[in-house]
Structure 1
Amino acid sequence: MNTLEFVSHSTNEVYRFSKNNTFYFLRISAKPLAYAEKIHAEMEWVHDLVQHGVNASLPILTKDQQLTAVYEKEGQYYMASVFRMAPGKFFDKGNPHLWGTNIYHAWGETMGQMHRHSKSYKPLLKGRQRDHWSKSEFSNPNLQHGKYRVLLEKLQSLEDQIDSLPREENAYGLIHNDFHPYNFMIDGDTITVFDFDDCIYAWYALDIAIATVHAVWWGSPGEDRKSKNEFARRFLDDFLAGYFKHHPLDFHWIQRIPLFMDYRNICSFFWWLQDWDGDEGKLNDFQRNAITEAVKIISDGRSFDGCEIEM
């Protein structure tokens, strides 16, 4: 373990290390002890996906054959998990080998395999499972005024629509919930997905929408609204061609993908704002400009860039 190297710290601390010429990631989560069950449920599902042929980053068992290890220090609990490093490279918008039809198709295939298996997957312990999708609960008083209230009301409106949707067996199950281009590696025409720590029970169409929104954000050839909408349509054609090889989804759910895309777009603002203290000086130029543009789009009754498509 003398090769241990710090990688990142956002929701979790992540380190990379090598052993016997193989690279691994160590993820450490500082959470209340009760959350250990949620992490174990995540790891159990990912391990099961790999066992069923899905290209995902393999969780490694501890010496006592567990998927997680829990440590306590001064009243704080730490959950440690280890994954085999996925082979390949990250996407590159300017490289046709790392971004284009073949990648979108493989991305869709991988998600289709995951959703197919999700339909039959049962946790080993009934009480040890991931959460179900639910409406956001924001009590931040700084979001109750002006343009921030416009964003909050848009989020609540979309969540009301989503919450009314049926949770059908063929359309709702355990999903990745963050399957974007920085959460998979590309090796030829194969992709390997990782970072399942946002996985929840929700609609399969939401998982597809999340992939599409991020593809538009980071991979559209043009930055104008027309280009993004055209790219979203082309991307989904290729993605769904791969997806449908492994998992059918009724057309009325495909038609709801733009709704879920709009929802993912509005959620992005609350990644910054949910704990915001009301000091606009703490928002950077990009965030301030994005909020201004979003409020204009909402006030005009339009959807976000990329979502103005008919399925």
Structure 2
Amino acid sequence: MKIIDQVLLTKGARRFGVNLSDLKQFGGFTNNVFEVNSDRGTFMIKYYPSSMYEKHSIESELDWIIYLFESGVNVTAPIVSINGKLLEVVVLNNEEVCWVVAFEKAKGKFVDVSNDEEWNSNLFYSWGKTLGKDKKERLE
């Protein structure tokens, strides 16, 4: 997959108070996720090129994540930019070319799907139990 243009990376990073040199390629579907280690802490920045993503879809995703977070589900919370926004818009030549969001870095590690000690019925049971809790249970 093509890595996002350096100009867009720089503009997006600045919106969250960091420099291009602070970004470390992390992955994502289109190589659009970066880890940041800065004096603001460690967090993730995700870039959404407008050629591939709809702005309203990103806003809906943010709304859903905030709802889950406020309901006590253990999700990574979005981080506001230095402008106080959850969703930043990068404009080039009077065109919205990219949207940028940042999230807390999730604690923990990836589940190793090839390891039967991790990827098993116990994991699915715990996962389902967490998703099936009502708000009151999650907050206790």
| TM bucket, shorter chain | 0.5 to 0.7
Alignment match of 2:101 (pick from 81, 85, 91): 81
TM-score by length of 2: 0.67
Shift of the 88–95 alpha-carbon distance from structure 1 to 2, 3 Å rule, reads farther
SS of match in other structure, 1:7: strand
Alignment match of 2:59 (pick from 40, 48, 62): 40
Greater share of strand residues, 1 or 2? Answer: 2
Which of these two proteins has the greater Rg computed from alpha carbons?
A: 1
Identity among equivalent pairs (%): 23
Root-mean-square deviation (CA), in Å? 2.8
Displacement after TM superposition at 1:78 (Å): 0.5
Match of 1:158 in 2: none
2-structure distance, mates of 1:4, 1:58:
19
SS of match in other structure, 1:78: strand
Match of 1:103 in 2: 123
SS of match in other structure, 2:45: strand
Asked if structure 2 preserves the Cα contact closer than 8 Å seen for 1:36 and 1:70, the reply is no
Displacement after TM superposition at 1:7 (Å): 1.7
Match of 1:94 in 2: 115
Give the gaps of 5 or more residues in structure 2. Answer: 1-17
Give the gaps of 5 or more residues in structure 1. Answer: 118-244, 247-311
Greater share of helix residues, 1 or 2? Answer: 1
**Which residues in structure 2 correspond to 1:279-298 (within 5 Å)?**
none
Alignment deviations for residues 38-78 of structure 1 (CA, whole Å, 9 cap, x no partner): 21121122012111110112111123332100111243510
Match of 1:52 in 2: 71
Query: What is the aligned residue count?
Result: 115
Match of 2:44 in 1: 25
Larger relative contact order, structure 1 or 2 (CA cutoff 8 Å, min sep 6): 2
TM-score by length of 1: 0.33
1-structure distance, mates of 2:40, 2:88:
23
